[in-house]
Structure 1
Amino acid sequence: MTPASPQSPHSNTLVMGKRLRFFRINAGLTLEQLGERVDLAASQLSLFENGRREPKLSTLQKIAHTLSVDLGQLLSTDPPDRRSALEIELDQAQHNPVYASMGLPVIRGAKSLPDDALESLVGLHREIERRERAAIATPEEARRANTEIRQQMRERDNYIPDIEDLAEDLLRAANHTTGALTHRTVAIMAEQLGFTLIYVDDLPHSTRSVTDLKNGRIYLPPASIPGGHGLRSLALQAMAHAVLGHDKPASYTAFLQQRLEINYFAAACLIPQGRAVEFLSEAKKDRNLAIEDFRDAFGVTHESAAQRFTNLATAHLDLPVHFLRVNDDGSLTRGYENDNVPLPSDASGTIEGQIVCRRWGARTAFERTNRTSEFYQYTDTPAGTFWCTVQTGTTATEGFSISFGVPFDHAKWFRGRETTNRSVSLCPDASCCRRPDATLQERWAEHAWPSARMHAHVLSPLPQGSFPGVDDTEVFQFLSRHAD
């Protein structure tokens, strides 16, 4: 089985029409001659071939028999030849909202249109789409899109039931019922979807995985990397595009939305809803909820466990929550809340890159000498008192903390609620922690000139390609190497 690229219903109907025309012409029949043999008007067959109407299955069976081809050949989602592929691409491009907004006429890829003219039109549309992506895929666009998606997820309590159901169906089909999800089970799930997982050491630098839709292969980093825990998630994320029926993202917002959905799907497979809710409900009943127990029960990272908790906490445990990943310089890289904790944000509502209060547990945890255990803290804020549990870690370049918390009244369900660590935060009031005290201000304000560390992404647009940040040339060369 070779998986096809996800397409819209209109695209599938158009491909079917192109294949019908291809096999009719190969059989040496006109529309009228085929119509006589299958008892259909030539005008109706023309509608089928142009993708304007979808034939019934019984009609397709009769046509396939008349043309001496298998029904599967008519139903394939692959264009029958290059000319048809270009005609389909032209049709899809002219349905793009960007083109529609130009008020230009629609040109159909009729057989009277010369091949070179068709190639030129498709090339122009590709360039229009490339420039549109270049115009919008900037850091500012990324921030706006991130904020929009975060607000949408807050409204639904970070919970997507449709993806939960899909994940459980696939796990059931792979006979996974208990224990941590193994690499072997992930491979079985991939096989059931028509994919083979292949581990290589020459993935393009701009990618985490590459899927070859034509040959049904998913390329991943080497399985020998330490622990290999992230490989299960990478494979599941790659499979998710097919499971969720994603098309190529038409905007940066669509790209980020797809990224959120594939991450959610992978998490729902690694920590299945049914068993997770059962585990958490028992722990809540015992007033012993703990991220580290949740992490260990399903064999995932601490960050994955904390994020997954946010998916299930409100919908199934009636707990409002918040989650933060904060760098050791205090900058917030990822965050979610539906408990009204006052996350730092700019005027547009963006939280990414904002500085978290020095007095929050997400930052005071860095001050500990022993960082191997969980750190607990209560923090009084202008929005109320919040309890949090924090775990710190390091990457090759920096330290970070993973913080999960709830309002004071809900701390009673968690291990660590007895902590005596308590802090007061007045942020966003600058007097809280952002303004030096008067003595330091007076001593150094006129005598300090630090050289700021500038991150390149502050000024640079995101790299461009069919998918933001991905080098198409590098990817296509990689696929060619491994397909030969």
Structure 2
Amino acid sequence: MTDLATLGQRIRYFRTQAGLTLDQLGSAVGIAGSQLSLMENGRREPRLSLLQSISEALGIQVSELLSSEPPTHRASLEIELERLQHGALYAGLGLPTIRVSRSMTDDTLSALVGLHRELARRAREAIATPEEARRANTELRQHMRTQNNYLPDLEKLAEDALAGVGHTSGALTHRSVALMAKRLGFDLIHVDDLPHSTRSVTDLENGRIYLPPASIPGGHGLRSMALQAMAHRLLDHHEPASYAEFLQQRLEINYFAAACLMPLRQSVDFLSTAKEERNLAIEDFRDAFGVTHEAAALRFTNLATSHLGMPVHFLRVGDDGALYKGYENDGMGLPTDVTGSMEGQIVCRYWSARVAFTRTNRTTEFYQYTDTPSGTFWSSTQTGTSSQGDFSITFGVPFNDAKWFRGRDTRNRETSTCPDVNCCRRPSGEFAERWSHRAWASAKLHSHILSPLPSGTFPGVDDTELYEFLETHSGDTD
């Protein structure tokens, strides 16, 4: 069925064409004129049987009422104004809505719609700013939540790619990754002068994937970067037309890489066995496939709900308490702003993601139960250090699923009432009275919060630097 606003406009149009009042048509179909008015204003959805009665009374086919096209140009403008005034952009201005009356001229209506369109256009001009990235990322995260963070088509793509190079078990080797690239017509080239804004560069003309030096400690990162670059080709990605498309592509290549490094069948077998033994642990999953703790925890979120039957949550939190990455489908109330974005929001001091930073021994996982307004959750947290500072990786489940995990017998337990400010964000009355207006702090500001991303072909990448790099290496020979 067409949307209610358009349906209502079409009912009104054909009613006036027939010269009937609301009460007259209502009487003909057995309802009050006031009820019919609600339908014409898009406030109530009529039953199909009622639509059939209305169409018979008006001498038209039901299909004419159900058309998705507004009946007139003015009706189209009225519908558009109604939608725009109820959108998040206009609502954020805190201005009253304008009700369209019969006395409103077409010119006035066109001017109002035009102003709204311009407002939307100017908002879209911020497409390369962190604010737009957060908005697009929020929509993507909400979509993935409906999918339980699981993408079966990408799982199948990864399985086929691995089968093509004969990989069946164990950690994926650098040699297998290189063979996968070769099957796609690419050589993996390690260089020490990649553009500073890139993780890898693919030369489509010469069949090369440029990566950082092979001497980088570890190896998971280099395998993952190469797999991500290959995923762009396997998924037939084109230059992103919007920030949302850029983020969607990034999610897909990250998912593909994870599905190659931790293949579906082997991962589910490993986790299912550990669940049967009530000995699930992120650190075991990590070590079995030779990946980072964060990669293992994220991969667990892909598989937990669809294959193990349990909802989960995941957080990456900085030592300042800021949430940099998060996912949940278990009801854990991750902090968000008014737009639904969680990036940069401060996590409760009593969650394990922050409590773990207070430990003297950070080499092992930290386990904790947390009582929240949404219920009790068990969490496992591992801390680490990067060039940006300390961080924690947290994986958790609702209380009833803690029985499958190592660390379920922990006695660590905290209570959080966040987002209630009295939980951990409002200082005690004694301290507030003692220090309010008697101190001044110079805030530490992350510059990337305010800085716009370079607006090149690929968000965040400087085209000039990229093309100069490609030109420099285009003449290289093996």
Q: 2:319 aligns with which of 305, 328, 341?
A: 328
* DSSP 3-state at the match of 2:382: strand
Q: 1:281 aligns with which of 272, 295, 302?
A: 272
Tell me how far 1:395 sits from its aligned partner: 1.0
CA distance in 1, matches of 2:456, 2:293: 33
* DSSP 3-state at the match of 1:136: coil
Q: 1:169 aligns with which of 160, 176, 180?
A: 160
1:301 aligns with 2:301: no
CA distance in 1, matches of 2:291, 2:368: 24
- Could you report, residue by residue, the CA deviation over 1:127-179 in whole angstroms, capped at 9, with x for unpaired residues? xxxx9986411111111001000000000000000000000001001000111
- Could you report, residue by residue, the CA deviation over 1:185-222 in whole angstroms, capped at 9, with x for unpaired residues? 00000000111100001111111000000111000000
Match of 2:304 in 1: 313
Match of 2:430 in 1: 439
CA distance in 2, matches of 1:192, 1:306: 30
- Could you report, residue by residue, the CA deviation over 1:214-233 in whole angstroms, capped at 9, with x for unpaired residues? 11100000001112320000
Q: Within 5 A, what are the aligned runs for 1:38-77?
A: none
Q: 2:234 aligns with which of 229, 237, 243?
A: 243
1:230 aligns with 2:226: no
Query: Which AA in structure 1 matches 2:427?
Result: P
Query: Which AA in structure 1 matches 2:460?
Result: G
CA distance in 2, matches of 1:477, 1:387: 50
Q: 1:189 aligns with which of 173, 177, 180?
A: 180
> Runs of 5+ in structure 1 lacking a partner?
1-130
Tell me how far 1:458 sits from its aligned partner: 2.3
Native 8 Å contact 1:134 1:464 kept in 2:
no
Tell me how far 1:442 sits from its aligned partner: 0.7
Tell me how far 1:402 sits from its aligned partner: 0.2
Query: Which AA in structure 1 matches 2:235?
Result: L
1:146 aligns with 2:137: yes
* DSSP 3-state at the match of 1:158: coil
* DSSP 3-state at the match of 1:405: strand
Native 8 Å contact 1:324 1:403 kept in 2:
yes
CA distance in 2, matches of 1:181, 1:454: 40
Larger RCO, structure (CA 8 Å, separation 6 or more): 1
1:399 aligns with 2:390: yes
CA distance in 2, matches of 1:203, 1:462: 18
Tell me how far 1:396 sits from its aligned partner: 2.2
Native 8 Å contact 2:126 2:132 kept in 1:
no
Provide TM-score, normalisation by structure 2.
0.73
Q: 1:337 aligns with which of 321, 325, 328?
A: 328
Match of 2:194 in 1: 203
Query: Which AA in structure 1 matches 2:131?
Result: E
Query: Which AA in structure 1 matches 2:237?
Result: H
CA distance in 2, matches of 1:446, 1:212: 58
CA distance in 2, matches of 1:347, 1:357: 17
CA distance in 2, matches of 1:436, 1:317: 42
Native 8 Å contact 1:133 1:252 kept in 2:
no
Tell me how far 1:397 sits from its aligned partner: 3.3
Change (3 A) 1:213 1:346: same
Number of residue pairs aligned between Structure 1 and Structure 2: 354
CA distance in 2, matches of 1:420, 1:135: 48
Query: Which AA in structure 1 matches 2:394?
Result: S
- Could you report, residue by residue, the CA deviation over 1:250-297 in whole angstroms, capped at 9, with x for unpaired residues? 000000010000000000000000000000000001111000000000
Query: Which AA in structure 1 matches 2:241?
Result: A
Native 8 Å contact 1:358 1:364 kept in 2:
yes
Native 8 Å contact 1:323 1:405 kept in 2:
yes
Match of 1:373 in 2: 364
CA distance in 2, matches of 1:337, 1:276: 20
CA distance in 1, matches of 2:366, 2:338: 32
Q: 2:208 aligns with which of 217, 227, 236?
A: 217
CA distance in 1, matches of 2:461, 2:123: 16
Identity across matched positions, percent: 71
CA distance in 1, matches of 2:130, 2:123: 15
CA distance in 1, matches of 2:382, 2:126: 39
Match of 2:413 in 1: 422
Native 8 Å contact 1:133 1:251 kept in 2:
no
1:386 aligns with 2:339: no
* DSSP 3-state at the match of 2:387: coil
CA distance in 2, matches of 1:364, 1:434: 15
Match of 2:96 in 1: none
Query: Which AA in structure 1 matches 2:265?
Result: G
> Runs of 5+ in structure 2 lacking a partner?
1-121
Tell me how far 1:416 sits from its aligned partner: 0.2
Query: Which AA in structure 1 matches 2:151?
Result: I
